[in-house]
């Protein structure tokens, strides 16, 4: 398996988060193709297998946009794929009430809406996808997941490795006033650091900008905090690896999730990359 699956197919119900899952795999270094017509799947799989140096990691999204006929043919197309231990199928499932709410909020058209109302379209799609769901190697229920949680779920699921070492570190900044992220391994509180929010001219900027960074770097307590967090993380990564963790998620929070936590995450991320680790960074409040 060479530490990564060479071909991942992502399918699932419309509105279940397949686009988020593909973006998460892009962060892991996968070449992603969304909305591939089902009949092109065997040809693309053969191309990937014949040129591993060009396509070491590929993720393909296939869903109801292929139409009822395309979905109906997909199970037999999956069976026709060349045998390869690097091929896996990820299926995203979601409760019907959640899907109805999501479509109502986004006002997007369901791909099978021509069959009737939204509930009819969802039921028809679930029936069409049932044979594909049965073939899935992994099933993720996204009913209670936001995009940040789903992204981490995908990283944890696909980031499986045979080596006893942490392959990826997820760093996330957040605002305590909006709650601590779920599914994290370590949480650090940066609210004790000087707050650029109260400095004239800095409130509208972020910890990724030079003006805020220069302000924070003038304070020794900021250097001490970053050094201590980094030392703690590096100290315990080997122990987490022995616990068969291929991915570790570390969150740093401050009051608004815009200045201090963003700066600390960015600084720690650069330090861990210098150590040769794969680092995935997410700034929750800046991505809203």
Phi, psi of 189 (to 5 degrees): -105, 110
Q: Are residues 146 and 12 both part of a single domain?
A: yes
**What is the dihedral sign for C-alpha 98, 100, 103, 109?**
positive
Q: Are residues 14 and 126 both part of a single domain?
A: yes
| Cα–Cα distance, 156 to 7 (Å, whole number) | 17
Select from 218, 229, 231 the least CA-distant residue to 264: 229
Select from 41, 46, 38 the least CA-distant residue to 66: 38
For residue 247, being part of any structural domain is answered with yes
Tens-of-pLDDT digits for all 288 residues of the chain?
Answer: 344 457 888 989 988 999 899 988 887 788 888 888 767 777 777 787 777 778 788 888 887 776 666 666 677 667 666 555 567 889 999 999 999 898 888 888 888 887 778 888 888 888 888 888 888 889 999 998 888 788 878 887 876 544 445 668 899 999 999 999 887 889 999 999 999 999 989 999 999 999 999 999 999 999 999 999 999 999 988 887 766 566 789 999 999 999 999 999 999 999 999 988 889 999 999 987
E strand or H helix at 279, and its extent? strand 278-283
> Of the candidates 138, 158, 178, which is a domain's last residue?
158
Q: Are residues 140 and 205 both part of a single domain?
A: no
For residue 288, being part of any structural domain is answered with no
Q: Are residues 242 and 138 both part of a single domain?
A: no
CA distances 18 to 87, 119, 232, 271, Å, are 18, 20, 35, 32
For residue 144, being part of any structural domain is answered with yes
Q: Are residues 34 and 153 both part of a single domain?
A: yes
Q: Are residues 73 and 210 both part of a single domain?
A: no
pLDDT of residue 242: 65
For residue 2, being part of any structural domain is answered with no
For residue 137, being part of any structural domain is answered with yes
Q: Are residues 123 and 205 both part of a single domain?
A: no
Q: Are residues 197 and 261 both part of a single domain?
A: yes
pLDDT of residue 3: 43
Tokens 């699956």 locate to 5
**Helix or strand or coil: residue 221?**
helix
Looking at the 3D structure of the chain, how many domains does it have?
2
> Of the candidates 125, 158, 191, which is a domain's last residue?
158
DSSP letter string, 80-149: TSPP-TTEEEEEEE--HHHHHHHHHHHTPPPTTGGGSSHHHHHHHHHHHHHHHHHH-SEEEE-TT--HHH
Q: Is the pTM of this model over 0.85?
A: no
**Helix or strand or coil: residue 226?**
helix
Q: Read off the pLDDT of residues 11-26 as tens digits, 9 standing for 90 and up.
A: 899 889 998 999 888 8
Q: Are residues 152 and 274 both part of a single domain?
A: no
Whichever domain contains 135, its CATH number is: 3.40.50.300
Range of the structural domain that residue 242 is part of: 168-283
Q: Are residues 131 and 234 both part of a single domain?
A: no
Q: Read off the pLDDT of residues 205-219 as tens digits, 9 standing for 90 and up.
A: 999 999 999 999 999
Q: Enumerate the β-bridge partners of residue 188.
A: 252
For residue 143, being part of any structural domain is answered with yes
CA distances 43 to 78, 82, 254, 261, Å, are 12, 10, 49, 46
> Of the candidates 89, 124, 158, which is a domain's last residue?
158
CA distances 24 to 106, 150, 249, 251, 269, Å, are 21, 9, 14, 17, 17
**Helices (H), ranges, the chain:** 18-27, 41-50, 67-79, 96-106, 118-135, 147-158, 210-217, 220-242, 260-274
What is the Cβ-side half-sphere exposure of residue 249, based on CA atoms within 13 angstroms?
A: 20
For residue 163, being part of any structural domain is answered with no
What is the Cβ-side half-sphere exposure of residue 130, based on CA atoms within 13 angstroms?
A: 6
Burial 141-162 (b: 16+ CB within 10 A, else e): ebeebebbbbbbbbbbbbbbbe
For residue 1, being part of any structural domain is answered with no
Q: Are residues 11 and 108 both part of a single domain?
A: yes
Q: Are residues 205 and 130 both part of a single domain?
A: no
Rounded mean pLDDT of the chain?
84
| Cα–Cα distance, 269 to 183 (Å, whole number) | 19
């Amino acid at each position: 398996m060479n530490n990564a699956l060479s071909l991942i197919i992502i399918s699932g119900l419309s509105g279940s988060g397949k686009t988020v899952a593909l973006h998460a795999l892009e962060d892991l270094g996968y070449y992603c193709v969304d909305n591939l017509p089902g009949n092109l799947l065997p040809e693309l799989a053969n191309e990937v297998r014949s040129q591993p140096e060009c396509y070491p990691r590929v993720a393909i999204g296939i869903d109801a946009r292929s139409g009822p006929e395309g979905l109906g043919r997909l199970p037999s197309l999956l069976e026709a794929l060349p045998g390869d231990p690097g091929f896996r199928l990820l299926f995203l499932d979601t409760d019907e009430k959640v899907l109805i709410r999501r479509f109502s909020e986004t006002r997007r058209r369901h791909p099978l809406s021509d069959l009737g109302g939204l509930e009819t379209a969802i039921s028809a799609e679930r029936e069409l996808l049932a044979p594909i769901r049965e073939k899935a190697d992994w099933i993720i229920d996204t009913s209670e997941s936001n995009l940040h949680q789903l992204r981490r779920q995908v990283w944890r699921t696909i980031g499986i490795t045979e080596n006893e070492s942490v392959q990826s570190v997820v760093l996330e900044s957040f605002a305590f006033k909006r709650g601590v992220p779920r599914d994290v391994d370590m949480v650090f509180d940066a609210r004790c650091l000087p707050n650029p929010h109260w400095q004239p001219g800095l409130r509208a900027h972020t910890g990724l900008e030079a003006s805020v960074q220069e302000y924070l770097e003038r304070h020794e307590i900021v250097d001490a905090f970053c050094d201590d967090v980094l030392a703690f993380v590096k100290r315990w990564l080997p122990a987490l690896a022995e616990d068969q963790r291929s991915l570790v998620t570390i969150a740093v929070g401050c009051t608004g999730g815009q200045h201090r936590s963003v700066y600390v995450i960015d600084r720690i991320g650069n330090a861990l990359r210098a150590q040769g680790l794969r680092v995935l960074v997410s700034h929750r409040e800046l991505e809203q």
